[in-house]
Structure 1
Amino acid sequence: MRNQFFSKGKKLSVGDPMTDALWDSCLSQKFQILSAYQWTPISVIERTWKYLSLDRVTSLVDLGSGVGKFCIHLSLLSNHSIDILGLEDREELVDVSESLKKHWDVSKVQFRKENFLKQFPEGHSHYYCFNPLYETMKGSHSIDLQKQKSANQFLKDLQTLKQNLLLLKPKTKLITFHGFGGNSLTGFRIVLKEEIAGGEYLIWERE
């Protein structure tokens, strides 16, 4: 049975450019209205592949993968050449991601219902996050009200994330869009900094 949060959408024809509107048309209205705030823009995914295609990438993890947009479209751009893992702790979003994975016919993408703060996946060459701690901030455009929102919770989660990132091996890359929750990252150096789609795009390397 098709997931209740998933819309059939439209498949691409050969040569058609991908757009956010086209990709998001596969989502229900509930998730389409969050797209500009919660799901990675196509231009950011394309920039990521441009970088990764020239880098030594073996596997990539999306920390807080949402509806799976980043993981799925990156796999399509890479012609399914990268092992990609999306971690998301909301079951309904994992269900949506699995439905979209079938829709776009991507085989080298896996989604798991996990909280990356509690079960951090070590050993990958690259990591990606789109401000994954936003849901604990007292801001607008939240996905839902499941997360506790407070300054104390945010700072606690930020410290946990930073400690987890310090476990990464030297030369591991962390790619962030709209940040990871903080402004500085001990043990990492910035190798690329750009403005894309109205947000700050950074690539960090573990020293």
Structure 2
Amino acid sequence: MRNQFLKWMGRMNVGDLVTDEVWDSFLPHSFQSLSPYQWTPISVVETTWDFLQNETVTSVVDLGSGVGKFCIHLSYLSQDQFSIIGLEDRSELFQISEDLKPKWNAHGVIFRNTNFLENFPRGASHYYAFNPLYETMKGNHSIDSKKDKSAMLFLRNVQQFKNQLYQCKMGTKLITYHGFGGSVLPGFRVLVKKELPLGEWMVWERI
């Protein structure tokens, strides 16, 4: 599949109108249909960028970056003002992310094919999560059936995620869209909460 869907692409330039329809059109068809449920909407990336412009940002890490939509579009908006890293444990999605980078001139974005629960990246100023543990739940619109799914596994992963976040230094911020898997995050306070048309967007701060 690699490069089959990229051969006809042109490069996007800063200032070009970008919508979800435009962005998703560069994905394989099966991944386009998942977009409303799995990939961060452009409007949510723009909301995140509006917030980050008033922040001191050293790096943003997307925990469960999928096809790279959040990272690549944030890079497009910010023009690489800070480091952007995406962590994705599915090799197919990781490869799509890598192949999309040249199309968006997002050469500064770093994608890593790794599980963020097992290899949590320390030291970022900001983290982003779009309900990253959903794939361990028995829900609709899953990416595939390759991962084990059970309520027990989901709860165990949520606790592990909380433990990882608790070890972040004071002042670290977590930005969530549709939550992180739970409603209570020990050691963090809620700074911002917005009900966007497509879901809840929040900013948490380590205290």
The TM-score normalised by the length of structure 2 is 0.95
**1:168 partnered with 2:168:** yes
Alignment of 1:26-175 (within 5 A): 26-175=26-175
In structure 2, C-alpha distance between the alignment counterparts of 1:21 and 1:32, rounded to whole Å? 9
In structure 2, C-alpha distance between the alignment counterparts of 1:7 and 1:24, rounded to whole Å? 16
Q: Is the Cα contact below 8 Å between 1:9 and 1:27 reproduced in 2?
A: no
Q: Is the Cα contact below 8 Å between 1:3 and 1:95 reproduced in 2?
A: no
In structure 2, C-alpha distance between the alignment counterparts of 1:134 and 1:7, rounded to whole Å? 32
**1:179 partnered with 2:179:** yes
The sequence identity of aligned pairs, in percent, is 58
In structure 2, C-alpha distance between the alignment counterparts of 1:113 and 1:149, rounded to whole Å? 21
Residue type of the alignment partner of 1:202: M
> Aligned-pair distance for 1:164?
0.2
Residue type of the alignment partner of 1:156: R
Structure 2 residue runs of 5 or longer lacking an equivalent are none
> Aligned-pair distance for 1:8?
4.1
> Aligned-pair distance for 1:80?
1.2
| Structure 2 counterpart SS, 1:102 | coil
> Aligned-pair distance for 1:147?
1.1
Q: Is the Cα contact below 8 Å between 1:127 and 1:174 reproduced in 2?
A: yes
Q: Deviations over 1:160-198 (max 9, x none)?
A: 000000010000000000000000100000000001232
Q: Is the Cα contact below 8 Å between 1:172 and 1:206 reproduced in 2?
A: yes
In structure 1, C-alpha distance between the alignment counterparts of 2:159 and 2:14, rounded to whole Å? 45
Q: Which residue of 2 aligns with 1:19?
A: 19
| Structure 2 counterpart SS, 1:202 | strand
| Structure 2 counterpart SS, 1:74 | helix
Q: Deviations over 1:128-164 (max 9, x none)?
A: 0000000011101000011111000000100100000
In structure 1, C-alpha distance between the alignment counterparts of 2:124 and 2:85, rounded to whole Å? 10
Identify if the C-alpha distance between structure 1 residues 98 and 13 changes in structure 2 by more than 3 Å, giving closer, same or farther: closer
Q: Is the Cα contact below 8 Å between 2:2 and 2:96 reproduced in 1?
A: no
Q: Which residue of 2 aligns with 1:196?
A: 196
Residue type of the alignment partner of 1:128: Y
Q: Is the Cα contact below 8 Å between 1:68 and 1:86 reproduced in 2?
A: yes
> Aligned-pair distance for 1:121?
0.5
In structure 2, C-alpha distance between the alignment counterparts of 1:8 and 1:54, rounded to whole Å? 38
How many residues in Structure 1 have an aligned counterpart in Structure 2?
Answer: 207
In structure 1, C-alpha distance between the alignment counterparts of 2:197 and 2:86, rounded to whole Å? 22
Q: Is the Cα contact below 8 Å between 1:64 and 1:86 reproduced in 2?
A: yes
Identify if the C-alpha distance between structure 1 residues 138 and 55 changes in structure 2 by more than 3 Å, giving closer, same or farther: same
